[in-house]
Structure 1
Amino acid sequence: MPPDGYSGVTRLEDTDFNGTLAVIINNKRFQNKMAAQLNQSNNVCIQAREVGRLIRHSPDLNLTDSELMQYIDIFMDLLSDLKYLVADRKAQEAVDKLNQLKLNTLTITTADITTVLNSAIKEKQQDALEAIKEDTKEAIECIQEKAKASIQHLMNVKDSITNVKTFTCASLNRITASKRSSISEIKCEAKKQKQEIEKTGAKEREKLKQVAGELPQREIKIQATHTTSRREELEENMREDLIKFYRKYYSNIPVSPLVEEHDVPLTDFYVHPPLTSIDMQRKFGQCQDFPKKASIHSYRDVFLRGDGELYKDIYITANAGVGKTSFAKKICMTWCQAHRPTEMVEQTFKSEDINSMKTFEFLFMVSLRDVDTSICDLDNMIESSILHYLARFSRFSRLDLEDILNERACLVLLDGLDEWAHPTSCVRGRRDVHATPHIPARERCTVLTTTRPWKLDVIKLGTSQIDRHIEINELDETSTKELTSNAITVLNRQSLPDQPKTVEDFESATSTLKLDNLRYIPYILLQMICLWFDGKSIGRTKCEIYTNIITLTLSRGLLKIDNKGLPPMRGQNLETTYEIPHCLKSNNICKSHYEVLIGLALLAFKKLFSPKAESNLVFDRSEVLQVI
């Protein structure tokens, strides 16, 4: 401990921030709890102690913006130490508050102010009572001393009388006068102390009257505190229920669309795809827009502008099979980890992404493909597809939801805009099926929408409706190998724990194939891995690869309905009616199910080239049954 001001300190409760850091820095046992090297001359604890010293000794108690940002970063680094503090709930709540302070989103509630006022009043009352007790004690001690002196004086007189046999009248008069003088002094001193006590008591009574006069105002504040406490409890309950809901329903993805029943944790399987921001620029005097592209490396690049402000309307586009939904789910899981850390999966998240997601107090993820086709309002979508499924849904009203969306930093994920059409029965009179959902304008709410590129082209958004456009690109060589490794690891765990296959085996099996860019499309790559893992031929050309995928799909479908095959179809007649590709002719399973394949091909053709683009991907089951 530092020698100045800490010599009598023996407990943590009796010291301050500076003293606590001194103990951590100088006690070697704390190295076991810190990832930072405490023996280094400029470790994070020493930096934090220096910041505390600079703030305490600042002559004008002012900081520049750059100094404030630097100091906050140092404190956040200290409280995010990877060995112990990163998993400590109170430390991470402090990091959250610091992050909000940094982004200027920290809210000082009425409860905070009331707590400070109550503490100050209580301290003043305690000081007053202590002052009265101290003055009373001093007065009593003074009176006792005077009385003791008088008694001693009388005893001396008694002794003198005992030793003298003869007294004169003058001697007796002197003794009497001395006694009267002592008694008079005692009375004067007692009167003086009484006046001092009355004076002090009058002052304290005035203070107590002042406090009593403030009681009605305090009652109002207490009522406001109760309201605030209820609101804070409701928000905490909703946040907790959202995290439980997302971790149950959005934390897993299938290894492949062919084996949807084999779900695996998203954190074990997901590979972050390459992202590119697209900013449209128009040169002076020209009508054509020129895209300016830049790589995206973190969630901060996705959600925050260069000045630290949040984007409000973000659109993520990607072609089929690239992973728009998986990308949205990973954002959702990162938010859950930021607000309720789970140590088991901690290493699968980037710390900078966790910090970025702490910016958002609430996250609402809506799968547009699952939304009721009659709903076109954002708040109704959240209420019907999320709130109604939370554990304590009856406690959360529509007004609570609107207050949170308006007053708290919120992120809304709308997944699959291309799989949703605006209802023609819209009560607001919007009849265009390509129109976007009705989204209220809110200061602290960010809406991120995923879609295929064609949808973004047809809705024709104005510059005020989109301020961030990001494209999910196909995988590169590194991410392809990572996804392959993850998929094979999961399949080994489920099927071949004793005889695992390796990435090298897959690379060897596909090295001579003409895969072109197929291996960079996650959807196709995973299906090829499943073919290879099942011991099936992947194929040497695109046609053969697609045929083998169809065959595997049919095989698994037949197993699901517990049927070895459908009744024989009119294969010969269909061969004379349609030109069947050679790859299908040479495959027995496909050959025995021509009618099903031809019907599905006809449906795919009609939907793909339909003028109603909104029905390309999502259509009723009855339409499928009509053609097979």
Structure 2
Amino acid sequence: MKKLYNNKLNHVTISPLDDYSDEMLRDVYMPPKILKMCKERKKFTKTKQQVNTYKEVFLTDCTVNPRIFLQGEAGSGKSTFLAKLALDWCEGFHSSSASDNSAHIFADLDALQCYEFVFHITLRNSVNLCDVYTMIKEQIIDSIYSPKDREKAYELVSEIMKHQRCLVLLDGLDEWTGPGDQHNLPTLVVNHNTCVMLITTRPWKLAEGKVKHSDIDALVQLEGIKEPLELSKIILSRLVDKEKLEIKYRAFTLYVKKQKLEELLSSPMMLSAIVCAYADGKELKGSKCEIYILLVESLFKKVNSNKCTFQQPPIALLTWTEHIQPNMENLNRLAEMAFHLLFVNERENAIVFSITELKKFKIDEIKDFALKSGILSAQRTASALRSTSSFMFIHLSMQEFLAAYHIARNANRIDGIISIYLNRHPKAYLDISQVFIFLCGLDISYAEKLSRMMHERNALHTKEFSNNENMCNGIVLAGYREANANGYSDIALKLSHFNCDNKNIIDLHKLWDNNAANAIVLNVNIDDRKPLENQRISPGNYECASQITFDLHSCLELRRLRLSGRCILGKGKYTIRFFCQMCFRYV
């Protein structure tokens, strides 16, 4: 099994634009920034306490947590963290690395050696399976042993899991669906109760409420990497001549600051795209949509080197591209399939799909193009009767971007599909948060419409400022910032729950003007010892403003107002003022 992991997990691509540019994971690994989540009565809240050791992940007050969840957004490094953990277990107490990037963080390898075996499972490859033991048989044992020897190995693994402490790593709960609605988590049989499960997921999967609090023994949040500029330098060192590295790196840090890309760099996937684009001479301006279009452009270039620019691009962001126009039909087919898989198909076929879906959208005609470009990947699926292939997009976020692109090009024809999808369950908007954010950068008019649909189905029916509404606040704010990064300044996204702090009050105040009448909650928590920050968007006129005013005259729906902190902020530069000549009820 250690040999399997060293073959399967030991390398990582440093460029999302080139699958062949891989390096030893240890040589380019950068420690993650992980924060503890505190379990309260109805929700989990993020703390400021950083998790820097494996022991802190597995133990709470010296007690082992049987089910641990590691949540993080797309591309934040969840899969890489699990791969590094598995490799650290393989190395034992004497782990060595060509670099000292992780010398002091997650260096307590003894915490891993108390587990006799570590089973690394990719959940997207086990859709419709619920039993963890069956996943281990199919993904690990069948990859190690020939059919003749497998039955003995199955029995041996079952005995091991009964009597010895094992660690099961389950990667990608948000990309997995069980058999039927009653299965919300992969499960271990009762006599495997000495095993510990560490499960990665995007936050929305836990926020939708199908995973009960009693199923979560510990929750930690991965915020990205600790030292993004240091990782940028490591990647640059693989892309430029050694004698030019320092000059190129200094120029890159100035570029990051000028274009306000610091927030994007916390995501390893975004960081690698930005660094590799910069090394190739392409400078970006902080738009996620622009980065994904760059990815599509680069992937298409690998298969078809023909160049042609757009005379009238379907979306403005395609104007600068050269390799997308000759492949527009392929792009449109892939985008249509991405959309229908996410919004129309059953959940079990949304992420990993068969040749049937390829034929339905005529992708089978361009299968070689899709696979050679890297937009799609494939794997063999063994069965008792025959061996078949299953397919998936290179990353779930790429599928979500293409789905948003399809919506932007066909906005008038898919209202019904989106509406039906949002009616599937009360918190369906969490599933499509990334699609919404991408849509804010591609088509602001439909993004505004989608924000109203999300609002109607969720926010208006909520009386308490819960964790879900806090997430909705963050989703709309991220969409607003993506729209700004793509040149949309007059935006009317709908929001009813405002949770303002030093880092977002400027942007949320801009959204307030269009939402005061439907505002339900206004929560302002300001630390006057810190300046108002806005990493992605220039404050504009707020640089010279003496006050930020929330006018409550038209707040007919306001049920909760909470103010914390002083009104004078940032050395007397900002004042928060509230005007109200009406009574409203507190709930």
Alignment TM-score, normalising by the size of structure 1: 0.51
Which structure shows the bigger proportion of residues in strand conformation?
Answer: 2
CA distance in 2 between partners of 1:392 and 1:615 (Å): 29
Match of residue 332 from structure 2: 598
SS of 1:618's partner is coil
- Kept after mapping to 1: 8 A contact 2:270/2:291: no
C-alpha distance after superposition, 1:256-282 (max 9, x if no partner): 222122221111111122112223212
* Aligned CA distance change for structure 1 residues 348 and 488 (closer, same or farther; 3 Å): same
C-alpha distance after superposition, 1:531-583 (max 9, x if no partner): 11123343575554443333223213x2xxxx4349x99x88xx6xxx72223
C-alpha distance after superposition, 1:579-623 (max 9, x if no partner): 722231343323333333333333344444458455544334654
CA distance in 2 between partners of 1:614 and 1:499 (Å): 49
Q: Does 1:420 align with 2:176?
A: yes
Q: Does 1:264 align with 2:18?
A: no
* Aligned CA distance change for structure 1 residues 289 and 348 (closer, same or farther; 3 Å): closer
Q: Which runs of 5+ in 2 are unaligned?
A: 364-587
Match of residue 389 from structure 1: 143
* Aligned CA distance change for structure 1 residues 611 and 386 (closer, same or farther; 3 Å): closer
- Kept after mapping to 2: 8 A contact 1:434/1:458: no
CA distance in 2 between partners of 1:346 and 1:525 (Å): 20
* Aligned CA distance change for structure 1 residues 260 and 433 (closer, same or farther; 3 Å): farther
Output the amino acid matched with 1:421. Answer: T
- Kept after mapping to 2: 8 A contact 1:539/1:548: no
Match of residue 50 from structure 2: 295
Question: Post-superposition shift, 1:488?
Answer: 1.5
* Aligned CA distance change for structure 1 residues 455 and 627 (closer, same or farther; 3 Å): farther
- Kept after mapping to 2: 8 A contact 1:334/1:349: no
Match of residue 440 from structure 1: 189
CA distance in 1 between partners of 2:146 and 2:343 (Å): 45
Q: Does 1:534 align with 2:280?
A: yes
Match of residue 547 from structure 1: 293
Q: Does 1:474 align with 2:224?
A: yes
SS of 1:412's partner is strand
Question: Post-superposition shift, 1:483?
Answer: 1.7
- Kept after mapping to 1: 8 A contact 2:88/2:95: no
* Aligned CA distance change for structure 1 residues 274 and 599 (closer, same or farther; 3 Å): same
Output the amino acid matched with 1:524. Answer: M
CA distance in 2 between partners of 1:535 and 1:292 (Å): 39
CA distance in 2 between partners of 1:483 and 1:346 (Å): 12
- Kept after mapping to 1: 8 A contact 2:29/2:101: no
Match of residue 318 from structure 1: 72
CA distance in 1 between partners of 2:31 and 2:290 (Å): 29
Output the amino acid matched with 1:529. Answer: V
Match of residue 87 from structure 1: none
* Aligned CA distance change for structure 1 residues 433 and 340 (closer, same or farther; 3 Å): farther
CA distance in 1 between partners of 2:295 and 2:46 (Å): 38
How many residues align structurally?
A: 356
C-alpha distance after superposition, 1:474-514 (max 9, x if no partner): 34xx521122122122334xxx4565464223223434224
Match of residue 513 from structure 1: 259
Q: Which runs of 5+ in 1 are unaligned?
A: 1-241, 283-287, 424-430
Q: Does 1:253 align with 2:2?
A: no
CA distance in 2 between partners of 1:622 and 1:498 (Å): 52
Output the amino acid matched with 2:142. Answer: H
SS of 2:353's partner is coil
- Kept after mapping to 1: 8 A contact 2:71/2:200: yes
CA distance in 2 between partners of 1:267 and 1:275 (Å): 19
SS of 1:319's partner is coil
Question: Post-superposition shift, 1:255?
Answer: 0.6
Task: Give 2:305's match in structure 1, choosing from 548, 552, 564.
Answer: 564
- Kept after mapping to 1: 8 A contact 2:128/2:177: no
Question: Post-superposition shift, 1:250?
Answer: 0.9
Output the amino acid matched with 1:412. Answer: V
CA distance in 2 between partners of 1:564 and 1:451 (Å): 37
Match of residue 159 from structure 2: 403
CA distance in 1 between partners of 2:97 and 2:257 (Å): 39
SS of 1:325's partner is helix
Instruction: Within 5 Å, give how 1:237-248 maps onto structure 2.
Output: 242-248=1-7
Greater shift after overlay, 440-449 or 501-510? Answer: 501-510
Task: Give 1:335's match in structure 2, choosing from 89, 94, 101.
Answer: 89
* Aligned CA distance change for structure 1 residues 593 and 398 (closer, same or farther; 3 Å): closer
Q: Does 1:451 align with 2:201?
A: yes
CA distance in 2 between partners of 1:532 and 1:387 (Å): 42
Match of residue 488 from structure 1: 236
- Kept after mapping to 2: 8 A contact 1:408/1:444: yes
Match of residue 524 from structure 1: 270
Q: Does 1:619 align with 2:353?
A: yes
SS of 2:220's partner is strand
Which structure shows the bigger proportion of residues in helix conformation?
Answer: 1
SS of 1:588's partner is coil
C-alpha distance after superposition, 1:71-125 (max 9, x if no partner): xxxxxxxxxxxxxxxxxxxxxxxxxxxxxxxxxxxxxxxxxxxxxxxxxxxxxxx
CA distance in 1 between partners of 2:306 and 2:263 (Å): 34
Taking only aligned residues, the RMSD between alpha carbons, in angstroms, comes to 3.2
- Kept after mapping to 1: 8 A contact 2:86/2:120: yes
Output the amino acid matched with 1:408. Answer: Q
- Kept after mapping to 2: 8 A contact 1:275/1:472: yes
Question: Post-superposition shift, 1:300?
Answer: 0.6
Q: Percent identity between the aligned chains?
A: 28
SS of 1:277's partner is strand
Output the amino acid matched with 2:53. Answer: S
CA distance in 2 between partners of 1:347 and 1:521 (Å): 17
- Kept after mapping to 2: 8 A contact 1:537/1:548: no
Alignment TM-score, normalising by the size of structure 2: 0.54
- Kept after mapping to 1: 8 A contact 2:342/2:350: yes
* Aligned CA distance change for structure 1 residues 333 and 607 (closer, same or farther; 3 Å): same
Output the amino acid matched with 2:72. Answer: A
Output the amino acid matched with 1:512. Answer: K
* Aligned CA distance change for structure 1 residues 611 and 503 (closer, same or farther; 3 Å): same
Task: Give 1:363's match in structure 2, choosing from 118, 125, 138.
Answer: 118
* Aligned CA distance change for structure 1 residues 608 and 588 (closer, same or farther; 3 Å): same
CA distance in 2 between partners of 1:533 and 1:600 (Å): 28
Q: Does 1:281 align with 2:40?
A: yes
Output the amino acid matched with 1:564. Answer: S
* Aligned CA distance change for structure 1 residues 586 and 621 (closer, same or farther; 3 Å): farther
CA distance in 2 between partners of 1:474 and 1:616 (Å): 26
C-alpha distance after superposition, 1:304-361 (max 9, x if no partner): 121x232111111111111111011011011112267557679855585211111112
CA distance in 2 between partners of 1:292 and 1:347 (Å): 26
Match of residue 322 from structure 2: 588
CA distance in 2 between partners of 1:269 and 1:251 (Å): 11
CA distance in 2 between partners of 1:341 and 1:623 (Å): 44
Question: Post-superposition shift, 1:245?
Answer: 1.5
Q: Name which one, 1 or 2, has greater alpha-carbon Rg.
A: 1
CA distance in 2 between partners of 1:448 and 1:503 (Å): 37
CA distance in 2 between partners of 1:434 and 1:453 (Å): 18
SS of 1:470's partner is strand
CA distance in 1 between partners of 2:137 and 2:218 (Å): 26
CA distance in 2 between partners of 1:292 and 1:312 (Å): 21
CA distance in 1 between partners of 2:287 and 2:207 (Å): 33
- Kept after mapping to 1: 8 A contact 2:75/2:269: yes
CA distance in 2 between partners of 1:509 and 1:291 (Å): 35
- Kept after mapping to 2: 8 A contact 1:538/1:548: no
